[in-house]
């Protein structure tokens, strides 16, 4: 099992309201799971819980380790939502940094940029079109052929569906979250719908 | 490559390309050159004082703006915007990520100070004062002070927003400066003995703003301008002595402590 999670809970402040509660996930190698829901329903929080970014509650195991374990994170490809890059950098530099920190070379970064279809990899991130920014985010996730792809609000480019298919074909698992599912439910096979942080 | 080196290089590169950091560097250099032009029209000690006081003002005011802004952006906005999360999800330990981000900002601060110090040395030579070693040492002293501001702002940025982090760090530096001034007043016996115990204790615990020999001498003559007004306590002129090597090392140790504290505090923070 790539992800086994029972009763995921996320609170952003100690003693504060639950952002997410009661979410269970079983995701095995070579399979996919899509989390859907309105904006603010807790989809991204579930992904952050799985990655160990949001200090989750519940019983969660990712690739056999607790969420946030550095050795496990090296096996995960992460494509955050919106515009997560520091201004001043070029798209290629962003992906090369992700590659270098994950123990990969510049050639793997270039390959990921190509796979994601980034048209202007040498543009500064603040000058990118939204579409190229989303592709750059996807490229960051594809570096080094990870065992688990986590995609937050992936735009459904042909390169996105091709990357998801290729990942699942080689035995990687894919966890994605979006408010606009399009053709992703059919591609990923299973889905959970969240309403105000709880499944249903 | 070492992850701290990877992150610090990327962070420094991104910041170096942003307009605000270039603007602070250029404006600072321009004011130093303007000071040299004004100094060239004067003679003797007046020329030397003008060159030094204008340059010292740049080190203090522009240095504070630069250091506080750099340090205050270490965590908060990038952690909420997803950039820090991208660095963490590569499997790089959170402590390493924050230290890399602090080192990247330190590289920018050092680079800007190196440029200002070089411009000041060239200007001093151009107006016939040689390289001005005292002004060079003052540049290094102010660089250490600004490293203190940057690391304090970095620690604040784990919990506070960028503006609040910058303001708190500047107040922290002003407090360290005040402590040094008050300790000088205690040593000159111009403060009541009831306060001297408390001031001495705080002086021994907290970091100390570094006073260079040049600033100490100019402050005593009331010639340092914005960078160091003459200190008067209870109608007595207080001479603030130049910092000892022990003080230099003590404050550097505090910088390391603040940076490490920022990295350790970040371990439990939620990020996007």
Phi, psi of A145 (to 5 degrees): 45, 70
Through-space distance between the first and last CA atoms of chain B, rounded to whole angstroms: 26
C-alpha R_g of chain B:
20
Residue B235 has pLDDT above 90, yes or no: no
Q: What is the mean pLDDT of chain B?
A: 95
- A56 touches B: beta carbon within 8 Å: no
Whether the pLDDT of residue A14 is over 80: the answer is no
Q: Indicate whether A194 pLDDT > 80.
A: yes
Closest to B87 (Cβ–Cβ): which among A44, A76, A101? A101
Provide, as residue numbers in chain B, all residues whose Cβ is less than 8 Å from the Cβ of A55: 268, 270
Q: Please report the pLDDT score of residue B229 as a whole number.
A: 87
Whether residue B270 has pLDDT greater than 90:
no
Q: How far is A152 from chain B (nearest CA, A)?
A: 11
The Cα–Cα gap between A44 and A35 comes to 9
Looking at residues B209-229, what average pLDDT do you find?
Answer: 93
DSSP A90: B
* Chain segment B145-177, per-residue pLDDT in tens: 999 999 999 999 999 999 999 999 999 999 999
**Does A57 score more than 90 pLDDT?**
no
- Residue A33: closest CA among A195, A197, A181, A196: A181
> CB of B66 within 8 A of CB of B43?
no
Please state at what angle helix A106-116 crosses helix A91-101, rounded to 10 degrees.
130
Q: Where are the domains of chain B?
A: 3-268
Name the residue facing B86 among A71, A74, A84 (closest C-beta).
A84
Q: What are A66-91's pLDDT values in tens digits?
A: 999 999 999 999 999 988 999 999 99
Mean pLDDT of all residues in B227-233: 88
Interface test with A, best of B89, B98, B107 (most A CBs within 10 A): B89
pLDDT of residue B111: 98
Range scoring the smallest mean pLDDT among A148-162, B141-155, B191-205: B191-205
**For residue B193, what pLDDT is reported?**
82
Put simply, whether the predicted model's pTM sits higher than 0.90 gets the answer: yes
Q: Are B52 and B135 in contact (CB under 8 A)?
A: yes
CA distance A68 to chain B (A): 8
| Cα–Cα distance for residue pair A152/A83, rounded to 1 Å | 11
Rounded mean pLDDT, B238-259: 96
Interface membership of A17 toward B (CB under 8 Å) = no
Q: What is the pLDDT of residue B271?
A: 86
> Which tens digit of pLDDT belongs to each residue from A35-48?
999 998 999 999 99
- Complex ipTM, two decimals? 0.93
Inform me whether the pLDDT recorded for A55 exceeds 90. Answer: no
Q: Where does the pLDDT of residue B43 fall: very low under 50, low under 70, confident under 90, or very high at 90 and above? A: confident
Query: What are the residues whose beta carbons fall under 8 Å from the beta carbon of A64, sequence distance 6 or more?
Result: A72
Specify the higher pLDDT residue, B175 or B233: B175
The pLDDT of residue A15 is 76
Average pLDDT of A131-152? Answer: 96
Q: Would you state the pLDDT for residue B107?
A: 98
- Using left for φ > 0, alpha for ψ between -120 and 50, and beta otherwise, residue A15 falls in left
What is d(CA B233, CA B181) in angstroms, rounded to the nearest whole number? 10
Do A97 and B10 count as a contact with CB atoms less than 8 A apart? yes
As a whole number, mean pLDDT of residues B56-78 equals 96
What is the per-residue pLDDT for B208? 95
Tens of pLDDT, residue by residue over B84-135, are 999 999 999 999 999 999 999 999 999 999 999 999 999 999 999 998 999 9
């Amino acid at each position: 099992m790539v992800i086994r999670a029972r009763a995921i809970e996320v609170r952003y402040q100690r003693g504060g309201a639950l952002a997410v509660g009661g979410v269970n996930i079983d995701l095995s190698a070579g399979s996919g799971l899509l989390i859907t829901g309105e904006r603010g329903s807790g989809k991204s929080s579930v992904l952050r819980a799985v990655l160990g970014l949001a200090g989750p509650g519940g019983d969660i195991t990712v690739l056999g380790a607790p969420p946030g374990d550095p050795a496990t994170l090296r096996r995960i490809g992460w494509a955050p939502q919106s515009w997560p890059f520091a201004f001043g950098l070029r798209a290629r530099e962003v992906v090369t940094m992700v590659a270098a920190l994950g123990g990969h070379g510049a050639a793997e970064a270039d390959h990921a940029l190509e796979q994601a279809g980034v048209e202007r990899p040498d543009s500064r991130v603040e000058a990118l079109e939204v579409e190229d920014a989303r592709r750059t985010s996807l490229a960051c996730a594809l570096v080094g052929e990870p065992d688990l792809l986590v995609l937050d609000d992936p735009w459904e480019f042909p390169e996105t569906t091709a990357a998801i298919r290729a990942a699942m074909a080689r035995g990687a698992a894919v966890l994605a979250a979006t408010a606009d599912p399009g053709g992703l439910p059919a591609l990923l096979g299973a889905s959970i719908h969240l309403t105000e942080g709880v499944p249903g | 490559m070492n992850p701290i080196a990877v992150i610090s290089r990327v962070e420094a590169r991104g910041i170096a390309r942003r307009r605000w950091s270039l603007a602070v560097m250029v404006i600072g250099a321009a004011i130093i050159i303007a000071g040299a032009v004004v100094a060239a029209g004067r003679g003797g000690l007046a020329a030397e004082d003008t060159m030094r006081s204008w340059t010292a003002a740049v080190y203090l005011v522009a240095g504070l703006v630069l250091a506080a802004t750099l340090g205050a952006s270490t965590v908060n906005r990038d952690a909420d915007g997803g950039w820090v999360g991208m660095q963490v999800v590569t499997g790089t330990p959170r402590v390493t990520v924050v230290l890399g981000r602090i080192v990247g900002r330190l590289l920018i601060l050092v680079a800007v100070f190196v440029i200002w110090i070089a411009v000041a040395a060239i200007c001093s030579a151009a107006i016939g004062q040689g390289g001005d070693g005292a002004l060079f040492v003052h540049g290094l002293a102010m660089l250490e002070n600004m490293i203190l501001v940057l690391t304090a702002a970095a620690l604040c940025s784990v919990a506070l927003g960028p503006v609040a982090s910058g303001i708190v760090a500047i107040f922290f530096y002003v407090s360290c400066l005040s402590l040094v001034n008050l300790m000088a007043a205690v040593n000159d016996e111009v403060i009541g003995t009831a306060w001297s115990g408390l001031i001495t204790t705080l002086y021994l615990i907290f970091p100390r703003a570094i006073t260079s020999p040049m600033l100490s001498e100019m402050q005593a003559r009331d010639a340092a301008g914005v960078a160091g007004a003459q200190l008067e306590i209870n109608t007595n002129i207080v001479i603030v002595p130049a910092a000892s090597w022990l003080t230099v090392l003590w404050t550097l140790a505090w910088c390391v402590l603040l940076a490490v504290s920022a990295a350790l505090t970040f371990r439990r923070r939620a990020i996007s």
